[in-house]
Amino acid sequence: MMYKNFAGNQSQKGAHQLKNDRTINCKYIDVLDGIRALSIIIVLIFHFWQQTWIWPSINTPWLSFIGITSISFNDYARVGYLFVDMMVLISGFLLFLPLARQVLMGESMSSWKTFAKKRLARIIPSYLFCVIVLFIYSISLGRYSDIWAALKDLLTHLTFTQTLFVDTYIKTNLNVVLWTLAIEVWFYVLYPFIAEFLKRRGTGARSIGISMLKASAVVLIMYAVFGLYAKQFVFRDGVYVSMTINQLPAFLSVYANGMIGAFLLVAIAGKAERTPLMAYISLLIAIASIFAIDKLVHGCAAVSREEAQLWQVSNRTILSIAFVCLIISLSLSPKWVRWLFSNKFMVFLSGISYNLYIWHQWLAVELKSTWRIPPWTGDVPPNQLYDNVWMNKYALIITIAAFAAAILATYLVEKPFSNLIMGKPAFKVNKKVDK
C-alpha cells in the first residue's frame, strides 16, 4: 500500500472537519514550539544557577498532607546543559522531515538554493549581530592581548570554526554559547550530501525500499563515526573535555536519531489517522519518556562535576532516543495535550528562544562581574557570601534582561533581516481591510 499524501489532503478546501481532526500533520509539528521553548529555559536555568547559586524549587504547601512541602529542580539546574542535545535533536528532526516526506510520500523538496537561503535567514542575522556587537564591546574594554588574538576570535566565529581552539571557544570574548551554532552550520553543510544520497528516485515501492535501505546505512555510519570518536573522550594534557565532546562528530548519533524520528513520524502519518486509542496510548508513551528523561538527568547529576560531561557523551545516544520518543508521542497525543505545548504563549517563547539562548548567559555574566548590577563591592560576589537579598534581586534582573534582549533582537534584528534574505519586506505591515 502506497503512503497517502495527507499534507495535500489538508490543503483541500471544503474537507470535512472530522477528517482534518483525524489527520496527522507531518509538515508542522505543533508540539515542537513548547518542547523547544522548555528546553531553552532549562538551559537558561542551568546558566543562571551557575551565577546566582539559587537552587530552583517550588513550595507546595497544598501537598503537605502527603509529606511534600516543595518540589526541587536542583538536578536540572546542575546539568541543564543536557537539553542542548534536545535543541540539536529538534534541528536534525526538522531537517530530515521534508526528506522523509519526499521518500515516503513522494512530495517534492525545495531546491538547495532555497534550503541555503532559509538556513542563512534563520541563523545568520542574530548570530552576526551578536558577534559584531560583542567584538566591538570587547575591543573597547581592551579584553584582547593583541590584534592577532582579536582577529583570530573574530575570524573563527565568522567561519564557524571557533570550537577548534580553546582561546576562541571556551575562552572567547564573543559569547561562549555560540559554539552550538558552529555545530549546526557544519551539519547544514553535510546535510545536502546525505539528502541527495537518500532521495527517492522513482514512484514505486521499490524506490522507497532502496531509499530506506540507504537511510539505514547512513544511520549505521553516523553511529559508527560517533562510536569511534567517543573513544577519545578523556582528559589529556590539561585540554578541556568540552573541546572533545562538543564537536560535530560527538553529535552524529543525535542527528541520526532525529532522522529516525522524522521518518517514523511520517511513516505513521502515511498509514494511520488519529483515534482516541492512539492518542491516549501516545500520551502514556510520552509520560514514560518524561520519566526516562528525568531518570537520566538524575543519573548525570549524581556523578561529580568532572565526570558529568563524560557521562553526558556516554549516554548521549540513549538520551536523544528518549527525546525523540517524547517528540513523536506528544505529536500523536490528545488535542488538549498538544495545546499545552502549542498555545500562543509557547509559540511566542519558541519565537524568541533563539535569541534568548544567545544572550542569556552573556548578560548574566556581564551584569554580575562587569557592570555589578545590582551594586556590590569588594572582590567576592555576593552570591558566594550567600547574600539572599542580593541574589534574588540579581536573579530577577538577569531574567528580565534576558527576555528583553531576546524580544528586541528577535523583532528588530532576526525577523527583519531574515525577511530581507528571503526577499520579503523587512517589516510586514498588516493592512486594514475595509469591509
H helices within 109-203, ranges in order?
Answer: 112-140, 147-158, 179-198
Per-residue pLDDT 10s for the chain (435 aa) are: 333 333 333 334 434 444 567 889 889 999 999 999 999 999 999 999 999 999 888 877 777 777 777 788 899 999 999 999 999 999 999 999 999 999 999 999 989 999 999 999 999 999 999 999 999 999 999 999 999 999 999 999 999 999 999 999 999 999 999 999 999 999 999 999 999 999 999 888 999 999 999 999 999 999 999 988 877 665 454 456 777 888 999 999 999 999 999 999 999 999 999 999 999 999 999 999 999 999 999 999 999 887 888 888 889 999 999 999 999 999 999 999 999 999 999 999 999 999 999 999 999 999 999 999 999 999 999 999 999 999 999 999 999 999 999 999 999 999 999 999 999 887 764 444 343
Domain boundaries, the chain: 46-78+347-424
Rounded alpha-carbon distances, angstroms, from residue 421 to 116, 292, 418: 11, 41, 5
* Residue 414, C-alpha cell as written in the block: 532576526
**Length of the chain measured in residues:** 435
Cβ atoms of residues 189 and 116 within 8 Å: no
CA angle 306, 307, 308 (to 5 degrees): 95
CB neighbourhood size of 340 (10 A): 12
Taking the whole predicted model, whether its pTM rises above 0.85 is answered as: yes
